[in-house]
Amino acid sequence: PSPPSPSAADATAGAARRATDPGGARARLGRILQHGGWFVAPFLVFYALFLLWPLVSGIWYSLNETNLAGINSEFIGLDNYREALGDDQMWDSLGNTLTFTAMITPLIVVAAFGLALLAHNIRRGKWFWRLAFFAPFLLPSAVMAELWRWLYEPDYGLLNNTLDHRVPWLLEGDWAMFSMVLATLWWTVGFSFLLYLAALQSIPDHLYEAAALDGAGALKRMWHITVPMVRNITGLIVVLQILASLQVFDQIFLINEGGPNNETRPVVQYIITQGFTGYRIGYASAISYIVFVLIVAVTLLRLWMVRNRTEENAR
């Protein structure tokens, strides 16, 4: 047989050398580190330390009956999950969270869209209105909670004095939930408002000009141009708000500590109560992962909807 060509022989020798020479692997690792590996290494360390490790350890805790100190822990398998699924207080807290989510999400979408339209179309003082609508979002939760506690004060609060009527804002269950939604709407609408404002500024002006030439009024231009053009942002805001509402805790706890008879207590507060007041870390971890599955389901649903919409647009 004819001898192999020099190029084929060199390739064979190079492959054999790379397979037997560990220096090749070190060289490749060095090239990876040289091209940005050292820059992402600190992030990967913190990511593994503060996200991956708590995630794995939390799963292990949920399978054990363990206290806050981790002493005398006992492996019990799925018993914590069975207890959680039969816990009426857990379901009540989860129901409060879902009720809060169902109330706040459409209000955030409508209010943010309306404020963005106002700030986008107003002619004078745009910077003032944008600052006024976004500024509450910058407040820490403790400051916001203290402010609204004074507003909701039944005897000498600003709201009751203005209405000249003693409304039980924080004293009755239905009013307490509405109060939490109202305070959260004022506090968090600025972020969604900013997203809508950026989306409105990206809509080409010639679309409105063409519609105006065809005789379309302001409402028709908004319904047939503005709303479809910000549809993706609306979907993003809905998902972000649902995810945030499922994890709500700060303002509800700081304003009224879960309300009368725990009628506004969110599931996150119940988890914290079980873990750090009842010292049942394993049980609290099990409830946490039930909520985590719910959050993952919402996220996957959003991804599925985006994928279907992309495929429809491609057709």
Structural domains of the chain, with CATH: 6-50 (no CATH), 88-314 (1.10.3720.10)
* pLDDT at residue 247, rounded to an integer: 92
Q: Which residues contact 119 (CB under 8 A, 6 or more apart)?
A: 126, 129, 130, 133, 193, 197
The span from the CA of 29 to the CA of 24, in Å, is 9
Amino acid at 237: I
Residues in the chain: 315
Give tens-digit pLDDT for 184-232.
Answer: 999 999 999 999 999 999 999 899 889 988 888 888 989 999 999 999 8
Is 10's pLDDT higher than 70? no
Using CB atoms within 10 Å of the CB of residue 119, give its burial: 0 to 12 exposed, 13 to 18 middle, 19+ buried: buried
**Strand pairing partners for 64?**
75
When pLDDT is averaged across residues 244-269 and rounded to a whole number, the result is 91
Is 70's pLDDT higher than 90? no
More confident residue, 124 or 288: 288
Q: For all residues of the chain together, what is the average pLDDT?
A: 86
* Rounded (10°) CA dihedral 165, 170, 174, 177: 130
More confident residue, 31 or 250: 250
Pick the range with the lowest mean pLDDT from 37-46, 89-98, 102-111, 140-149.
Answer: 37-46
The span from the CA of 92 to the CA of 264, in Å, is 9
What is this structure's pTM? 0.82
The span from the CA of 187 to the CA of 170, in Å, is 18
Element (H, E) at 75: strand 74-75
User: Do 190 and 197 form a contact (C-beta atoms < 8 A)?
Assistant: no
* pLDDT at residue 36, rounded to an integer: 67
* pLDDT at residue 19, rounded to an integer: 52
Is 12's pLDDT higher than 70? no
Give tens-digit pLDDT for 132-189.
Answer: 999 999 999 999 999 999 999 888 888 988 888 888 898 887 899 999 999 999 999 9
Q: How confident is the model at residue 67 (pLDDT cuts 50, 70, 90)?
A: confident
Is 285's pLDDT higher than 90? yes
* pLDDT at residue 264, rounded to an integer: 92
Q: Which residues contact 87 (CB under 8 A, 6 or more apart)?
A: 287
Is 31's pLDDT higher than 80? no
When pLDDT is averaged across residues 244-273 and rounded to a whole number, the result is 91
Q: How confident is the model at residue 303 (pLDDT cuts 50, 70, 90)?
A: confident
Q: How confident is the model at residue 15 (pLDDT cuts 50, 70, 90)?
A: low
Q: Which residue has the tokens 């109202």?
A: 182
The span from the CA of 266 to the CA of 246, in Å, is 8
* pLDDT at residue 260, rounded to an integer: 82
Per DSSP, the three-state class of 65 is strand
